[in-house]
Amino acid sequence: MIRVAIGGPRGKMGQEAVHTVMNNENMELVAVLDHKEIGDLLSESPEFPASYDVPVFLDLESLISSIKPDVFVDLTTPHQVFEHTMMCLQNAVRPVIGTTGFSEAQLELCSKIAKDNELGCIVAPNFAIGAVLMMKFAAMAAAYFPDVEIIEMHHDQKLDAPSGTAYKTAQMIAEVRPSHKQGHPTEEETLPGARGASYDGIPIHSVRLPGLVAHQQVMFGGEGQLFTLRHDSFNRQSFMSGVTFSINQVMDLKELVYGLENIL
């Protein structure tokens, strides 16, 4: 039985993760981490049934010292994720991170600590299996279509832009694509930002609108043709197979893995 703690249980992703772990016969939800006082037990929060008698903590250090979970699933905010990951790795807890917001330097540091401690850690920009496949296929296509733009679309409550999925996609494409600036050499933005953000010359456009969940398309242009890869998540349940997979897999890892495409 894998002892699991979840950070951010009342968010939309967090609620799905709580139900998923509670209904998994190989896992036990032993604690949750919230950012505000909601009661001593998760069952005291109106989002959950009375049977969810899981202790609630406001501080991760207290949670770890009191409960000693095997795995901590972080679904909190980009502002907290690095601190949470470091605390877990320094206290023999395996982090499964579904919150974006790491810098490259932070990822490198976490990777070093995980490897030094021979402790599994998974950082997943996207838990949806279809999105992971989209990223893998995009990297394959970039070897043949070097001109590419990424459009990611999310709900209007998302805190970071671009999304972790878009950023990871651009990184994977950049590994096989010759670095170059796209568009006309002397193009000019008459409205700053019109061409989007840029990663190694790859434009990334972020859309934030009510009604969206998580969507991305990667558009490759070539002579006389357009090749588009697209993935849509219409609800948070689409991410739960990846969450379950990650919790199981992180128990056998002895290092940090960035992206589920590396262990599928």
| Residue 256 · residue 121 · CB < 8 Å | yes
Q: Which domain holds residue 100?
A: 2-123+237-262
Alpha carbon distance 208, 255 (integer Å): 34
pLDDT digits (tens, 9 = 90+) for 57-81: 999 999 999 999 999 999 998 889 9
Q: Are 38 and 45 in contact (CB under 8 A)?
A: yes
Q: Are residues 38 and 63 in the same domain?
A: yes
Tell me whether residue 200 is exposed, middle or buried, using C-beta atoms within 10 angstroms of its C-beta: 0 to 12, 13 to 18, 19 or more: middle
Any idea which residues carry the catalytic annotation?
154, 158
Instruction: Tell me what the pLDDT averaged over the chain comes to.
Output: 95
3-state secondary structure of 93: coil
Domain CATH code at residue 220: 3.30.360.10
Domain co-membership, 13 together with 108: yes
Say if residue 100's pLDDT is above 80: no
Q: Are 200 and 174 members of one domain?
A: yes
Residue in the structure block whose two tokens are 């490897």: 115
CATH code of the domain containing 35:
3.40.50.720
Q: What is the pLDDT of residues 162-187, one digit of tens each?
A: 999 999 999 999 999 999 989 898 99
The pLDDT tens digits of the residues spanning 188-230 come to: 999 999 999 999 999 999 999 999 999 999 999 999 999 999 9
Q: Is 85 marked as binding a ligand?
A: no
The answer to the question of whether 168 is labelled as a binding residue is no
**Is the predicted pLDDT of residue 84 greater than 90, yes or no?**
yes
Beta-sheet pairing, 225-233 with 214-222: antiparallel
pLDDT in tens, 101-155: 788 899 999 999 999 999 999 999 889 999 999 999 999 999 999 999 999 999 9
Q: Is 9 assigned a ligand-binding role in the annotation?
A: yes
pLDDT confidence of residue 103: 87
pTM: 0.85
- Counted domains in the chain: 2
pLDDT for res 33: 97
| Residue 91 marked in a binding site | no
Annotated binding residue at 94? no
8 & 119 share domain: yes
Amino acid at 26: N
Is 244 one of the annotated binding-site residues?
A: no
Please tell me whether residues 60 and 92 are part of one structural domain: yes
According to the annotation, is 99 in a ligand binding site? Answer: yes
Average pLDDT estimate for 29-56:
93
Q: Which amino acid is at 12?
A: K
- Asked if residue 159 and residue 83 are part of one domain, the reply reads no
pLDDT tier for residue 159 given thresholds of 50, 70 and 90: confident
pLDDT for 55 equals 97
Statement to judge: residues 9 and 109 lie in one domain:
yes
Q: Has 242 been labeled as part of a binding site?
A: no
